[in-house]
Structure 1
Amino acid sequence: MTDGSAEANLLHQISRRAGSMSPALRGVADVILADPEAAQSLSITELASRAGVADSTVSRFLRDLNLDGYNQLRLGIAQAIYSRPVSAAAPSGWVYEGILKDDDQSTVVEKVLHGSIEALSRTAERIDPETLGEVVERIHRASSLYFTAMGSSATVAESAVLRFTRAGKSCMFFRDQSAQSIAAATLGSDDIIFAISDSGDSTPVLATVEIARFHGAHVVALTSTLDSQLAERADTVLLTSGAVASSDVYGESVTAKWGQLLVIDVLYANYATRYFDEAEGYLLESYQSSIRPTRSGAQ
């Protein structure tokens, strides 16, 4: 089970196949589908007990799904949870994005890895080549690129500024939310504002976007939620992966940032290749003047 797409989602597989399973195996499937978050924390004996079957029946259930072992079932459930749309609250017992308080170190590593791979894969699936091309053209024509973001999305904005500045574009980003709103008033119809928000409902980002729109800037949204307030206000939407449910206590999704970084890198790579003759000089100069002197042993 290596494909993390929606079609290969383990919960989807179990749901599709449950109807053709024997009553005993279907009982195991029902327990998992009724509460996947709780099921992934159960031992094989606990799962068997809730389904009213023997441990050996759960083992047959694993073989029926071509799983190598019980741990792969738990990881598959966690990966499927990562692919679901963001929810308002995290289930009881969650510490962070599908990770449970009793998970051991190797399980945490596997879950974070699966979540990161899922975020990248799902974002790649959501990138529309035509929309991407249109944004690249706008970047080329734009007088400046402006970025608004908050929380950990600010790291994505800073990465974008570094990349596009090296390619010769004038870029601007402030960590301070008030400065973002103030600077948005300096934008015009020749400028692009990239608004980065996984939920699409970040109030400071929306406020900055409204100011930029008023002054005529083209709004490009990087968000996972097409029906969000940000997507509604944007001129162009670049969809990222949806994030697993997280709670206010433990913070926003970090795996979602992989999708945002992927979109920025794809935009940059497309821009640098399409306008290579223009970007090459800036890339070489920035390397010679700013990067190479920082490398130990560089001549």
Structure 2
Amino acid sequence: MADAGIAESIRRGLSDCSPAERKVARVLLAAYPSAGFETVARLADRAGVSGPTVLRFVQRLGYRGFPDFQEALRRDLDERSASPLRIHQTRVLAEEPSGSLHSRAAAISTATLQRTFDELSTHDLDRCVELISGASGSVVIAGGRYSGLLGRILALHLEQLRPRVRMLPDEPSARAAMVADLGRRDVLVLFDYRRYEEHTLRLARVARAQHTSVVLFTDAWLSPISSEADVVLTSETAAPSPFDALTPVMALIETVVAGCFDRLGDAAVGRMAQADQLAGELGLY
């Protein structure tokens, strides 16, 4: 099981930092990973703190000093950009498969799912549910080549519970028109996982400029969108195949849907009943 990425470790440790150390953390997260490769003096200047504060901060993260932190950052960058082939090659070098496919898949998948929930922030989960269920405007959902499929699953569930749930269309003019309509009453939900996609980051930045709330589903290495997001929900990625696990993300989606259903209460039940009735009248199912 991979450890959390450096960015996620910084985010999780914010509450344990001194006010000065939190300034260092926010500078690192806002310009991750480039800020971590600056000199101690430059990073301290950007954060408005002293050099010793920067060193205390990286020691709090568990590093012997700043060079040790930067070396870990280089390894983290390799992990963030790893392809399925690279993941497979690394795994073959690190360990020999043992046991049956059934036992290996069960052990890895169970541990990945458990760790995802162990590290899940209750505050972020509650805030995510609050934003999605309480938005007076639209909930717009988007993702990448694979993660867009996860977004579609979330949308299919949410549209049964509340009005104005939309998948961001692929067609360029329709996509631009929907983004142009985003405002402070809306919520943009994004899915972005390692080998992060630049167009999704640009989408988040435009939404923030238009005062739209942003919810991000990502992995332990943290998409660059995390610095633009109001809420970040992370999941672990270890899987028995060379591809990152989707099961933990699905579990988070189901948890968010459950929270929205509870929060919306009778309104959600009434909408589901109306949808069932109309589907029957239309002969849909």
Structures share fold, TM-score greater than 0.5: yes
Structure 2 equivalent of residue 138 of structure 1:
131
Instruction: Give unmatched runs, 5+ long, in structure 2.
Output: 4-77
> Take 2:116 and 2:225, find their aligned partners in 1: how far apart are those partners?
18
Shift of 1:136: 1.7
State how 1:145-224 maps to structure 2 within 5 Å. Answer: 145-174=139-168, 176=170, 178=172, 179-199=174-194, 201-224=196-219
Q: String of CA shifts for 1:228-271, please: whole Å, max 9, x gaps.
A: 4111121221122244699xxx7x52x1x222222221111011
Number of residue pairs matched by the alignment: 206
Structure 2 equivalent of residue 121 of structure 1:
114
Structure 2 equivalent of residue 282 of structure 1:
271
Q: Per chain length, whose mean CA-contact separation is higher, i.e. which structure has more relative contact order (CA < 8 Å, sep 6+)?
A: 2
Task: Give the conservation status (yes or no) of the 8 Å contact 1:141–1:190.
Answer: no
Shift of 1:224: 1.5
Q: CA distance change for structure 1 residues 290 and 118 in 2, over 3 Å: closer, same or farther?
A: farther
- Residue type of the partner of 2:270? G
Shift of 1:138: 1.8
Q: CA distance change for structure 1 residues 167 and 91 in 2, over 3 Å: closer, same or farther?
A: closer
> Take 1:107 and 1:181, find their aligned partners in 2: how far apart are those partners?
49
Q: TM-score, normalised by structure 1?
A: 0.57
> Take 1:291 and 1:261, find their aligned partners in 2: how far apart are those partners?
29
> Take 1:284 and 1:91, find their aligned partners in 2: how far apart are those partners?
43
Structure 1 equivalent of residue 256 of structure 2:
267
> Take 1:133 and 1:97, find their aligned partners in 2: how far apart are those partners?
36
- RMSD over aligned Cα atoms: 3.7
Shift of 1:180: 4.1
State how 1:227-266 maps to structure 2 within 5 Å. Answer: 227-243=222-238, 253=244, 255=245, 257-266=246-255
Q: CA distance change for structure 1 residues 177 and 117 in 2, over 3 Å: closer, same or farther?
A: farther
Q: CA distance change for structure 1 residues 91 and 213 in 2, over 3 Å: closer, same or farther?
A: closer
Counting aligned pairs with the same residue, the percent is: 20
Residue range with higher mean Cα deviation, 267-276 or 113-122: 113-122
Task: Give the conservation status (yes or no) of the 8 Å contact 1:158–1:173.
Answer: yes
Task: Give the conservation status (yes or no) of the 8 Å contact 1:174–1:180.
Answer: yes
Q: CA distance change for structure 1 residues 154 and 89 in 2, over 3 Å: closer, same or farther?
A: closer
> Take 1:93 and 1:148, find their aligned partners in 2: how far apart are those partners?
27
> Take 2:240 and 2:205, find their aligned partners in 1: how far apart are those partners?
28
Task: Give the conservation status (yes or no) of the 8 Å contact 1:5–1:121.
Answer: no
Shift of 1:183: 2.1
Task: Give the conservation status (yes or no) of the 8 Å contact 1:196–1:222.
Answer: yes
Q: CA distance change for structure 1 residues 263 and 177 in 2, over 3 Å: closer, same or farther?
A: farther
Task: Give the conservation status (yes or no) of the 8 Å contact 1:173–1:180.
Answer: no
Task: Give the conservation status (yes or no) of the 8 Å contact 1:90–1:245.
Answer: no
SS of residue in 2 equivalent to 1:221: strand
Q: CA distance change for structure 1 residues 231 and 5 in 2, over 3 Å: closer, same or farther?
A: closer
> Take 1:131 and 1:238, find their aligned partners in 2: how far apart are those partners?
7
Instruction: Give unmatched runs, 5+ long, in structure 1.
Output: 7-84
> Take 2:224 and 2:183, find their aligned partners in 1: how far apart are those partners?
22
Task: Give the conservation status (yes or no) of the 8 Å contact 1:153–1:197.
Answer: yes
> Take 1:112 and 1:175, find their aligned partners in 2: how far apart are those partners?
35
